[in-house]
Amino acid sequence: MRPSSVILLPNLALLLLCLSAAIGRINALSSENHTNRPSSCSTTRRRLLMESMSKILTATTVTTAVATTNSSPAWAAKGAAELDFEFYMRDLVGGNKREGTILPSEPLPVAPPRTLSGPLIPLLLNKECSASCIPVQALVQQILSQKNGNNSNNKDDEDKITKEIQQKVQFLREKIGKSFYTKAPWQKEEVTDQYYFDLTAYALWRTAAELLPNFVDRDQFVRRFGRLLYQAMQDQKLIPSSQPLTAPSLVRSLPQVLAVLNLFQSSNFCKGFKIRQDDSSKDDKGDPVFDDLDDESLVTSGLGVDCLVSVYEPSTLGASLQINGEQSRFGPDLVGPTLAAVWEQAGVKSAWETFFVDPEYRPNPKDYFPNEQVSKVRYSLILATHQDSSAELTIMFQIPNHWLSASSIHHYIQLLQFSLSRKR
């Protein structure tokens, strides 16, 4: 029997004895006074019960304290059952303090909008949402591929869809602009203003959700946007060009990842970022994010690798929270798809979930003021498959010879056998 059980059993026995004595005394007094003072009997009985229960609770608490004095510190603390019992007994005797309905606290003061600058911002958004910004390009291409498949698209179709997107964005921006302005007032109606950028991103992503109701199309649109933006960053020399890799590698993709994140931060899109493998990593500048063991886990073992990417106060935070409050997960995440494109070129497939974190503890449970967007990323090895003109399944992979082990050779032989069986 555990020491806590040894302590608890005498207390319960004492409690039962005291309760029996109290009930017997109350019944005796009740029978004596029943014929003489019926009107005051219930009051006397209630008073005696409360006094007895109060004494019992005090005695039990004292006994527990005495019993636990000589026990080890590990067993001296009260357990959940003891705390619950004490809470209910105190509420029965004297009544616990009632909190009532707790209202949310006043919102935090809104900081002045940041000024977004640099050549990255026109790639992310422009006020007119024309085809020169990457999200509109990706959305138009996704809609056309959905309608026409791989057939060639003419310029008239692209212009028609672009005009429809612009009209919908303008309508939504006017409709919900007052609500956004009340929460976070902008100083000028330009996408270089952080809060007006936020409003425009909300209107564009709501438009994309309307035009792409299918979740598969939405995922393809987001990944298409990331590829186009990452390529545009390299074409305009905003980040170094990626070097071809001989094998999938998280370690060698890290410089490009940091270059992309630094570009977002230097453009004032966000106030900062942090990338680490888990929340236990307090200092992201000490230990490396990835190492050779992670690459080996991906290539030889086929195991997944996780990491967390935090973006602090992104310019799309208000839009993302608003869409999240509308029970939708399709928010304007501009950083996640771009990083996914980086890892895709490194031969690593990534999938991510986005959360919003309030890093400060607040006593009021209804207070929630997040300023951090956290993406939990899961990596796996890319085994790309496609159907060629002969309807034969082709499996493509590149593995360096010095990484091959017996288990990995067996794994790839199985893949080759599967490919050959499909060809027959």
pLDDT at 193: 97
| Model confidence, pTM | 0.68
Token pair, residue 31, equals 């029978």
Identify whether 419 is part of a domain: yes
Name the average pLDDT for the chain.
Answer: 77
pLDDT tens-digit series, residues 91-103: 777 776 666 677 8
pLDDT at 231: 96
**234 versus 19: which is more confidently predicted?**
234
| Biggest CA pair distance of the chain | 106
Same domain membership, residue 130 and residue 39 = no
Identify whether 371 is part of a domain: yes
Looking at 42, 74, 93, the residue that finishes a domain is 93
Identify whether 361 is part of a domain: yes
Identify whether 406 is part of a domain: yes
Strand partners, 350: 379
Same domain membership, residue 341 and residue 415 = no
Q: Of the given ranges (4-18, 186-200, 332-346), which has the lowest mean pLDDT?
A: 4-18
Nearest CA to 344 out of 243, 253, 232, 215 is that of 253
Average pLDDT over residues 291-309: 77
Same domain membership, residue 239 and residue 334 = yes
pLDDT at 307: 86
Same domain membership, residue 67 and residue 128 = no
Residue 144 has pLDDT above 50, yes or no: yes
Same domain membership, residue 321 and residue 215 = yes
Same domain membership, residue 223 and residue 195 = yes
Nearest CA to 216 out of 168, 167, 158, 145 is that of 145
Same domain membership, residue 410 and residue 348 = no
Identify whether 108 is part of a domain: no
pLDDT at 392: 29
Same domain membership, residue 181 and residue 60 = no
pLDDT tens-digit series, residues 313-354: 999 999 999 999 998 989 999 999 999 999 998 888 888 889
pLDDT tens-digit series, residues 25-77: 555 555 555 545 444 545 555 565 566 555 555 555 545 544 444 444 545 56
What domain range includes position 397? Answer: 387-423
Sign, Cα dihedral of 202, 229, 131, 128:
positive
> Percentage of the chain with pLDDT > 70?
66
Identify whether 100 is part of a domain: no
Q: How many domains does the chain have?
A: 3
User: Where does the pLDDT of residue 389 fall: very low under 50, low under 70, confident under 90, or very high at 90 and above?
Assistant: very low
Same domain membership, residue 214 and residue 313 = yes
User: Where does the pLDDT of residue 312 fall: very low under 50, low under 70, confident under 90, or very high at 90 and above?
Assistant: very high
Looking at 93, 109, 142, the residue that finishes a domain is 93
In angstroms and rounded to an integer, the radius of gyration of the C-alpha atoms of the chain is 33
Beta strand extents in 277-369 (DSSP E only): 305-312, 348-357
Same domain membership, residue 151 and residue 48 = no
Same domain membership, residue 327 and residue 248 = yes
Residue pair 169/94 in contact by the 8 Å Cβ criterion: no
> Percentage of the chain with pLDDT > 90?
41
Q: Of the given ranges (62-66, 250-254, 403-407), which has the lowest mean pLDDT?
A: 403-407
Identify whether 26 is part of a domain: yes
Same domain membership, residue 341 and residue 409 = no
Identify whether 107 is part of a domain: no
Please give the torsion angle defined by the CA atoms of residues 68, 73, 78 and 80, in that order, rounded to the nearest 10 degrees: -140
